[in-house]
Amino acid sequence: MPKAHALLNIQLGKLPMSALFEEIDSQPSPLGEISLRRRVIPMLGEEPIYEVKLGEEYLMSSMFVAAEEALSTLGLAAVDGDELAVVVGGLGLGYTAVAALRDTRVAELLVVDALETVIQWHQQEKVPLGKILNADARSRYIHGSFFDLAMGQPTGFDPAQANRRFDAILLDIDHSPSEFLNDSNQDFYTEAQLRLMKQQLRSGGVFSMWSQNLPDPQFMALLASVFDDVSSHIISFYNPFQNNESTNSVYVCK
């Protein structure tokens, strides 16, 4: 099955730069130039499509968000209780965060992103879902490295409350457990580091993670060395360019 990011780079990269295309913003970042674009593809209708690029690589498109939303719905479905405190690692175009807010049990949502530009796009409502996140008093943006904060540096995920614990941590940053947005992220995918992150979960808390690939048996085994209950879910979605189904995965650990 085609990979989500590969689809974006192969398919969107072939589209002509016409009057239907607009670059909304482009800024330098620690990972390279990051840009926000909007385009309309007449064959798919009049609804604008929003895209995020890092250099020449497409990171996300509002065309393919089923798995990003499933990350929240599947992860939170595994959590018991009410008045949930939730962390989303990776803001992107906001689909995981907004899906989490649809769960009425969520009392507080911390959305962590290392790229200040991406947070500003939402704060300034340059992306459609920014308005929803800004208007919901339960949500809060945290500018910082998810991977540093997951290790408890310096205070954990919530800078206002050191060593705080959460009901769910939902992660969508790297392409997969073996394909990284930044090479330094690979240190997170070890038993020792996952155990450190787990310390920020309450008893019965859930860690859930998105991947562009089908479930990885080695990663499943690694997760099982840290968590009592580990499952994987294949998320299928329609690819209009190829007129067939593509897949991503969501891991859910408790």
Residues 32 and 132 in one domain: no
Spatial contact of 209 and 176, defined as CB atoms under 8 Å apart: no
**What's the number of domains the chain is made of?**
2
**Residue with more model confidence, 20 or 64:** 64
Of 30-44, 120-134, 200-214, 220-234, minimum mean pLDDT range: 30-44
80: β partners: none
- pTM, entire model: 0.92
pLDDT in tens, 103-143: 999 999 999 999 999 999 999 999 999 999 999 999 999 99
- Please state, in angstroms and rounded to a whole number, the distance separating the CA atoms of residues 91 and 32: 17
Residues 76 and 39 in one domain: no
2, pLDDT greater than 50: no
Spatial contact of 78 and 206, defined as CB atoms under 8 Å apart: yes
Contacting residues for 6 by C-beta, under 8 A, at least 6 apart = 212
Spatial contact of 237 and 201, defined as CB atoms under 8 Å apart: no
Residues 56 and 166 in one domain: no
Q: What is the pLDDT of residue 56?
A: 83
Q: Which domain holds residue 202?
A: 66-253
Average pLDDT over residues 221-226: 98
- What is the side-by-side strand order in the sheet with 34-39? 21-27, 34-39, 49-54, 57-61
What is the identity of the amino acid at 134? N
Mean pLDDT over all residues of the chain? 91
Average pLDDT over residues 201-224: 98
- What is the side-by-side strand order in the sheet with 230-239? 139-143, 106-113, 84-89, 166-171, 201-211, 244-253, 230-239
67: β partners: none
CATH number at residue 204: 3.40.50.150
Q: What percent of the chain has pLDDT over 70?
A: 93
Residues 104 and 209 in one domain: yes
Residues 86 and 194 in one domain: yes
- Please state, in angstroms and rounded to a whole number, the distance separating the CA atoms of residues 219 and 70: 19
Residues 113 and 56 in one domain: no
Residues 54 and 70 in one domain: no
Spatial contact of 166 and 201, defined as CB atoms under 8 Å apart: yes
- Please state, in angstroms and rounded to a whole number, the distance separating the CA atoms of residues 208 and 163: 20
- Domain's final residue, options 61, 91, 106: 61
